[in-house]
A and B are shown apart, each in its own frame.
Chain A
Amino acid sequence: MDFEFTVNGVRRLISLERKDDRLTIRHGGIALEAEFRVISANAVSVLSGGRSRLLIIARDKDKRHVWLEGRTYIIHSGAEEERLADKGDDRTQKGKSVVTAPMPGKVVKVNVAEKEPVRKNQTLAIVEAMKMENEIKSPLEGFVKKVYVSAGDLVDSEKPLLELEPKS
């Protein structure tokens, strides 16, 4: 059976073949055989070539967080393009530049107004979370097309703050 995931923006194709407790995993030209045992809704024990490993998994909508030996893999179902399209994200469209919040927080200040010209790296807004202020810098030289938020607003991660138009 074939599966498609995205990890760190890279598309990953994997195929699994099952025979009782044993799985053959084909990924990136390598085949790996291992015995899988589901311990609980969050834990899977894997034995391969005598090596014992425990993987921990948690789900968050279309995202799976998988932990193995101190490392966390964040695995999205499907391909990245689909994921962005599903969320109504149009950042990939040409001629637009939407500046988004890097993390959930509170807008402390919006430093620019619509139609105002901006320099690259100019501070556009300040978003605060956990007592730390984070300056949102302009990724380009141009002008402000639209401001979506105002001081005091609570924003989620990746929520659009403003839209810029690059200097032509």
Chain B
Amino acid sequence: MFGFLLGLIVLVVLVVVYYANRIIVLGNRVDNAWSQIDVQLKKRVDLVPNLVETVKGYMKHEKDVISSVTRARERMLGAKTDEEKIKANNQIAGALKTIFALAENYPNLKANENFMMLQEELSGIENKIAYARQFYNDSILTYNNLVSTFPGVMFAGILGKQKKKHLEIEAAEREPVKVKF
């Protein structure tokens, strides 16, 4: 009888430890996935002044677009919450897309070595953001499934953990920008 009780207690402790750890590990994974996105977003922001400097001389008639990407960058740097940051970033992504689309009209710019390098770099970052976003969403899904289904939901309640919200980051197209005229 005593042995049985002891076994039961050990079993309960093991289950609790397992679920508590699982919730924490998966929660950390979500945070880590977000910081992966953050790293790539920062890299992109850092490249914006470079790009502006390069295209300025060529695209004399596209001042609006160029200043919109600069403004979006300033908003991103001044952002306080994750939501603001994401909003500013979606604006950067949109403005960059327009710049690269318009660049098609400027053969000299397209042939500029610096511009080509920046374009390659920025499209690489675009891909990485897309993949980081995908991993982030997967991690959130796994986490939310754990804390919202039985028996995880019990332990989540005890630990005070709740479902995490998906962040709406603009779905970056993983294909070259197509120009429509």
Task: Tell me, yes or no, whether A binds B.
Answer: no
